[in-house]
Amino acid sequence: MEAVLKELETALGHAFASHELLVRALTHRSLSNERAATEQTSENEKKEPAGSGSNERLEFLGDAVLGLVVAEALFAAHPEWQEGELTRVRAQLVSRQHMAEVATAIGLGSHLRLSRGEDRSGLRNKSTVLSNTMEAVMAALFLDGGLEPVRAFARRWVMGEAAEQLAEELKSGAALGNYKSALQEYLQAERSGTPVYRVKSESGPDHHKRFLVEVRLKSDEDEPGKPLARGTGSTKKHAEQDAAQRALERLTAAAAKGGNPATATEAEEKSSAQ
């Protein structure tokens, strides 16, 4: 058992003082349930380290610890980001999808402790199980060695190229592919108002529709709001994203030039309507 754990410790970059913690972090509830239903365990199972209970409590702690460490790293690395930008990138980095990718990269699946039935069913490679177990392992790292081993692991595996790529996407205005969220966050940061989307027209047959959507800047004093941009798309959602992208590009360009983006709407309206 200890020899197998050492392989994982090498990948984690931490030698555990308490192997019980790591064993618990790797133990899926299917195994603990299987053992609870078994009246007699084998001699080999009796010799395993203690801490063979489910890792679900550790998942809870690991999620919080990982979120803290990633938030701390982003806060230090990007003093120019506002709360919305920090929140979106952190959410991507600690997402189930990304943590499952991290788990796969370090070979965590081969170390999972599952019931025989679930092991045969392929649960070992399921992304949800991998991401949950990765969170449990983060909790074990924290409980065994404090925040520093978690920080070191996060810098190498959770952040790294993924964080750099997300930062580049954010810098380009893509807001990780969601221009509507990016526009809303930008306007909130500037305390300018709220974006409101309206369908201006529909054209084409049902199987090939085209929507023209206008996004306006709505504030308490300004009804119905100043037009920011228009966008088109085969669905309302696509047209809204297109309008938001155009508005965001205009706003950021105007801000870079020191101008007032709210006064530059007519040209954009004309060009997007064509």
Q: Please write the tens of the pLDDT for every residue from 70-117.
A: 999 999 999 988 887 888 888 889 988 889 999 999 999 889 988 777
Tokens of residue 203, six digits: 């054209």
List the beta bridge partners of residue 196: 216
For 187-214, what is the mean pLDDT? 86
- For residue 201, the cross-strand partners are 212
Distance in angstroms (rounded) separating the CA atoms of residues 84 and 43: 54
- Just list the catalytic residues: 63, 135
Q: How far apart are CA 136 and CA 153, in angstroms?
A: 14
- Name residue 194's beta-bridge partners: 218
Amino acid 252: pLDDT = 78
Cα distance between residue 98 and residue 162, in whole Å: 9
pLDDT tier at 233 (50, 70, 90 boundaries)? Answer: confident
Running DSSP on this structure, what letter comes out for residue 69? Answer: H
CA distance 69 to 87: 13
Domain 179-273 has CATH 3.30.160.20: yes
Give the count of beta carbons closer than 10 Å to the beta carbon of residue 26.
24
CATH of 2-171, one of 1.10.1520.10, 1.10.3720.10, 1.10.10.10, 1.20.1260.10: 1.10.1520.10
Nearest one of 63, 60, 57, 1 to 29, comparing CA atoms: 57
Q: Is the pLDDT of residue 52 over 50?
A: no
For residue 222, what pLDDT is reported?
A: 53
Domain locations in the chain?
Answer: 2-171, 179-273
Contact (CB, 8 A) for 114 and 30? yes
